[in-house]
Structure 1
Amino acid sequence: MKKRGRGIGLSFYGTGYGNGFPDVSKAKVRLLEDGKVGIYVGSTEVGQGAKTVLTQIGAETLKLPVEEIVFIAEDTSLTPDAGTAAASRQTYNTGNAIRIACEKFVERLKELAKEQLNLNSVYGLKAEDGHIFLEIFPQKRISYKELSKIYKDSIIEVEGEFVAQTVMMDPETGQGAPYWPYTFNACGVELEVDTLTGQVEILKAVFAQDVGRAVNPHLVEGQMDGGFAMALGYILFEDLNIKEGKIYNDRFSRYLIPTAMDTLKVENIIVEDPESTAPYGAKGIGEPTMIPVGPAILNAIYDAIGVRVTELPVTPENLIKLIQEDNERKEEI
């Protein structure tokens, strides 16, 4: 017999290392020989889209097409430390460091342009599309490429640093502000449980994720889909089968993960509520996209069959065992 159930899961997640631990990101911005702009950060790309989003943040600040930016990362001989690709912190922390560095870089170029344009002030100068020009008299302008040729024997470079605000928890009271900012999400699932086989089939899923501001909506949806699939595997499939410290499911022939046939089209809802301290309002969502999915699935299973699952994964064998134990308890009563 197949029984249908619905469940929801909610979560909130703090960005960064937290609890007063120094959370610092640095970035360098340099004028290159061809007039392009180099952005140098130590952030690591692990598939979360950091290089794309951080390049976009730099391009927005510099008012340049992304094609005019050379993004250099993961090279410790060239890049300043941007902290780890962990704690969903790169978009917020390193994005802020890049924004700060780019703003300082523009001011530096304005000073150089003032000298080359024989102006008496930087006020009224504007940077856009690879040029510095006087807003009230746009013909008075100089390009980044021209500046790079004039100052070819000098390094035109600035550095930006961002330190996240985090307060250590009081060990006596348990009070504090360990993280900032927080991101919020919600997941709803409808599923069917086959009480004869223990098979769980996800029928529908809706996922709402607070992102602050979606710098790249396609990447946001990719994170949401990935988080859902990862949680689905964690809840229903993946079992290391550890006995007395030995892992028995030590290969993919035995350690099952979801395939394309096991996933579904999730209805993703991107919630934008810009964070005032973030670069253009954007928050990091790398890890939190996984958190509410598991509770939603487990709540839906409970709604369907009235049995609470307390051990993972919910394999068909384990679920049949729980159903049988529940039936035996009811018979005893």
Structure 2
Amino acid sequence: MKKRGIGLGCAWYGTGYGNGFPDVSSAFVEIHDDGSATVLTGAVDVGQGSNSIYAQIVAEELGLETQDICVYSADTDATPDSGTTAATRQTYNTGNAVLKAVRQAKVRLLDYAAHEFSCPTPEGIELKAGYIGVKGDPSRWMPLADMVFKARLHGERLISAESSTARSTPVDLESGQGAPYWPYAYGCQMAEVEVDTETGMVRVLKVVAVHDVGKALNPTQVEGQIAGGVAQGLGFALLEDLELQEGRIKNPAFSSYLIPTALDVPSIEAFFVEEAEETGPYGAKGLGEPAMLPTVAAVINAIDDAVGVRITSLPATPEKILSAIRKEKEELEEK
């Protein structure tokens, strides 16, 4: 017999290294005299799309397109240290470093442009669609590339280096007070499952995920990150079982260490709540681990709702589920 159940899982997650440990990212930015810009950062893009975010940040500040921005990352010989790609920290930490760096270079550009255009203050200069000029005066505009080229001929190099440190403090062991992480990410997910009471097999039919991301700088990437996190969470909940014997891994291949395939991934509806984080780049927070954390609880709760058994060790294999069902039945018969 196949029974269906629905479960809810919620999570909150402190991003960054935590407990006051210095969580620092650095970045270099240069604006070139062909109207493009380069970002150098040690952050490793392992597929989550951080390089795209850095390009978006620089393009937004300079009034350019993302294709005008070249991001060099993860070259230990040439790029500044930006910390690990872990702890849901790169968009927030390194994004802040990139934003500070491009704004520093931009200030020098605006100062030079104000002088060239005989504008009283740099605040009267704006950047838009690859051009730079005086606000409200179409006669005093020129391609950004021409302005930067002029600046270079006059010895002005628009290069900047900046660092960003996450705002956290150690927990006081006596009072228990402190801000060990910053910022926090929140999310909740609902899972609908189908459990075969004869085989113990679980089929996840649907997951609805809602996550707080601060400001979504790239909504498509946010949706992809949630989908990827849900897929990982399903593996954590139902499949992945690392077998150790005297410190050796007994199942080192994907033939024996199972992970979800495309056929195992259910329908996923991803939603995100946007409430800007005042300390983040344009209000953004990270969404790495938080996307997978609620999945496990949602699936386990859904199994309980379907067949009335509580699985307390992961993964929730068919053997564990059948054993729990038999035990529950025996206890009911004894009563």
For the aligned pair, the TM-score class normalised by the smaller chain equals over 0.9
Change (3 A) 1:78 1:115: farther
Report the counterpart of residue 229 of structure 1 in structure 2.
231
Distance in 2 separating the partners of 1:195 and 1:242 = 29
The residue aligned with 1:144 is 144
The residue number in structure 1 matching 2:191 is 189
CA contact (8 A) 1:109 1:132 kept: no
Q: Secondary structure at the match of 1:298?
A: helix
Greater shift, 221-230 or 29-38, is seen at 29-38
- Choose 94-103 or 239-248, whichever is displaced more: 239-248
Amino acid at match of 2:73: A
Partner of 1:256: 258
Deviation track 1:43-85 (CA, whole Å, cap 9, x = no partner) reads: 1101111011121122112221112212121123332222211
Q: Higher mean Cα deviation, 130-139 or 192-201? A: 130-139
Give the superposition deviation at 1:200: 0.8
Distance in 1, matches of 2:240 and 2:26, equals 38
SS at match of 2:263: coil
Q: Number of residues paired by the alignment?
A: 333
The range that moved more, 243-252 or 113-122, is: 113-122
Instruction: State the match for 1:268 in structure 2.
Output: 270
Name the counterpart of 1:6. Answer: 6
Structure 1 unaligned spans of 5+: none
CA 1:148–1:122 in structure 2 vs 1: closer, same or farther (change >3 Å)?
closer
Structure 2 equivalent of residue 130 of structure 1: 130
- TM-superposed deviation, 1:241: 2.4
Higher mean alpha-carbon deviation, 225-234 vs 169-178, is at 169-178
Q: Which amino acid aligns with 2:224?
A: G
Q: Tell me the alpha carbon deviations over residues 264-294 of structure 1, each in whole angstroms, 9 at most, x when there is no partner.
A: 1211112111111111111100111010000
1:90 aligns with 90
For residues 159-198 of structure 1, the aligned pairs below 5 Å read 159-198=161-200
Q: Give the superposition deviation at 1:120.
A: 5.2
Could you tell me how far apart the structure 2 residues matched to 1:142 and 1:118 are?
A: 14
Q: State the shift of 1:154 in Å.
A: 5.5
Q: Residues 282 and 245 from structure 1, CA distance in 2 versus in 1: closer, same or farther, beyond 3 angstroms?
A: same
Matches of 2:306 and 2:258, distance apart in 1: 24
Q: Distance in 1 between matches of 2:46 and 2:121?
A: 44
Report which stretch shifted further, 320-329 or 110-119. 110-119
Moved more, 117-126 or 71-80: 117-126
Give the Å deviation of 1:235: 1.1
Alpha-carbon distance change, 123 to 328 in structure 1, aligned in 2, over 3 angstroms: closer
- Say if 1:16 and 1:23, in contact at 8 Å, map to a contact too: yes
Q: Distance in 2 between matches of 1:304 and 1:136?
A: 65
Structure 2 counterpart of 1:39: 39
Aligned residues of 1:130 and 1:144 also touching (Cα < 8 A): yes
> 1:120 and 1:282, CA in 2 relative to 1: closer, same or farther beyond 3 A?
closer
Structure 2 runs not aligned, ≥5 long: none
Deviation of 1:144 after TM superposition, in Å, equals: 3.0
- Does the CA contact (< 8 Å) of 2:109 and 2:148 recur in 1? no
Q: Equivalent residue for 1:311?
A: 313
Question: What's 1:79 paired with?
Answer: 79
2-structure distance, mates of 1:327, 1:313: 22
**Could you say what secondary structure the match of 1:54 adopts?**
helix
SS state of the match for residue 26, structure 1? Answer: strand
Aligned counterparts of 2:78 and 2:141: Cα–Cα separation in 1 = 31
Report the counterpart of residue 19 of structure 1 in structure 2: 19
1:297 to partner: Cα distance = 0.6
Which residue matches 1:293? 295
User: C-alpha offsets along residues 284-322 of structure 1, whole Å, 9 cap, x if unaligned?
Assistant: 001110100000111111112221111111111221122
| Contact 2:39-2:72 at 8 Å conserved across structures | yes
User: What is the aligned partner in structure 1 of residue 204 from structure 2?
Assistant: 202
* 2:85 pairs with 1:56: no
Partner AA of 1:37 in structure 2 = A
CA distance in 1, matches of 2:130, 2:162: 20
- 2:305 partner SS: helix
Structure 1 residues 78 and 144, CA gap change in structure 2 (3 angstroms)? farther
8 Å CA contact retained: 1:212, 1:281? yes
Residue 107 of structure 2 is matched in structure 1 by 107
Amino acid at match of 1:91: T
Which moves more between the two structures, 40-49 or 173-182? 173-182
Q: Cα distance, 1:243 vs. partner?
A: 3.5
Alpha-carbon distance change, 322 to 62 in structure 1, aligned in 2, over 3 angstroms: same
